[in-house]
Amino acid sequence: MAYFVGIDLGGTNIKAGVVSDKGELLNKVSIKTNADRPMEDIITDMGKLAKQAIEESGITESDVSAIGIGSPGTPDNKAGTLVYATNLPFVNAPMRKIIRSVIDLPVYIDNDANCAAMAESVSGAAADVADSVTITLGTGIGCGVIVNNRIFSGFNQAGSEFGHHVIMVNGQQCSCGRKGCFEAYGSASALARITEEAAAANPTSILGKLIEENGGHANARIAFDGMRAGDDVSANVVDTYIDYLSEGLANAINTFMPEVLLIGGGVCNEGDPLMIPLREKTLNKPFFGPGVRKTEIRVAKMGNDAGIVGAAMMGKACFDDKIQG
């Protein structure tokens, strides 16, 4: 059996683990990123963490075929660099060169959302299909597209930024500089903003009281809590959010026509109150044509392990294709 190391680089934590060639996670370790440090120090620690993961897994470095890294931002796998990363001091960071100076194994790099999609494709909720799209709802919106069991990256590995397609012309300002992006309406942070706006307009409602009890700030859960308590204002927030979310998901289906579309992120923990109306609204919008099989919408299931497993499986795919690492 072959083994691969997956490294999940985030603005807060760096996680690493050893993964079998079947997608089984043997172990995982983590450290704080401390993102205000020089990039060389952060990348060196990534290499050290890979060595630690191998040592604690009970195998040796000679048992490991390659290292895969999932990172925010735009990677250049051919050059072995991270061109740019949000919330990290990386510009054209020579990740492969530095990590290979710590641990001499092939190193491959891809976007973290792509790696999450790969994890779901190999070991998660899309393991039974060859074509899937994974959309993660968090502070922003991450998107990974799998076509014939392979990551679709675009010519510059910056493809699948589906959070930045416009669903509302001249709408809400997005962090990317455009207005009306899907991310500005469908992310978990967008749900929190919509919730706060509704509470401010209806301060005596149950929602208003819940926001007040939470220090004046909303999260992606509060509107659902209010709806469960019978609050009409909260129910309207949830309904509005699902309308926005369904627009973006329907566009993803029309664009990629995957067999399965996955959504992930903490908001998915709401279960049926989210998923039942979301499936109904979303699947009524794409153009399938008479008698054409419809995309199935599922909840992603890899959770916090998606970054490690997906990075390792991306590394495996590159290694198997004999890409220079």
288 falls in which pLDDT band (50, 70, 90)? confident
**CATH code reported for the domain at 3-119+304-320:** 3.30.420.40
Over range 274-299, report the average pLDDT: 93
Each residue's pLDDT tens digit, 164-207? 999 999 999 998 899 999 999 999 999 999 999 999 999 999 99
CA distance 107 to 325: 5
Each residue's pLDDT tens digit, 63-118? 999 999 999 989 999 999 999 887 788 999 999 999 999 999 999 999 999 999 99
Q: What angle do CA 225, 300, 159 make, to 5 degrees?
A: 115
Do β-strands 260-264 and 132-137 pair in parallel, antiparallel, or remain unpaired?
parallel
Cβ(40)–Cβ(100) below 8 Å: no
pLDDT exceeds cutoff 90 at 290: no
The structural domains of the chain, with segments of one domain joined by +, span 3-119+304-320, 129-301
Each residue's pLDDT tens digit, 235-272? 999 999 999 999 999 999 999 999 999 999 999 999 99
> Which residues, 6 or more positions from 133, have their beta carbon under 8 angstroms from its beta carbon?
117, 143, 144, 145, 146, 162, 252, 253, 256, 258, 260, 261, 262
**What's 161's DSSP letter?**
-
133 falls in which pLDDT band (50, 70, 90)? very high
174, burial (CB in 10 Å: exposed 0-12, middle 13-18, buried 19+): buried
- pLDDT at residue 42, rounded to an integer: 97
- pLDDT at residue 278, rounded to an integer: 98
Cβ(134)–Cβ(300) below 8 Å: yes
151 falls in which pLDDT band (50, 70, 90)? very high
- One fold for both 3-119+304-320 and 129-301? yes
- pLDDT at residue 156, rounded to an integer: 79
Paired with 136 in beta bridges are 142, 264
Cβ(5)–Cβ(54) below 8 Å: yes
Which pair of structure tokens corresponds to residue 320? 């198997």
**CATH code reported for the domain at 129-301:** 3.30.420.40
pLDDT exceeds cutoff 90 at 57: yes
Strand ranges in the chain using DSSP code E only, listed in sequence order: 3-9, 13-20, 25-32, 64-71, 74-76, 81-84, 91-93, 107-111, 132-137, 141-147, 150-152, 260-264, 296-299
Compute CA 115 distance to the chain's CA centroid, rounded to the nearest angstrom: 8
pLDDT exceeds cutoff 90 at 292: no
Compute CA 71 distance to the chain's CA centroid, rounded to the nearest angstrom: 10
Backbone angles phi, psi at 6, to 5 degrees: -110, 135
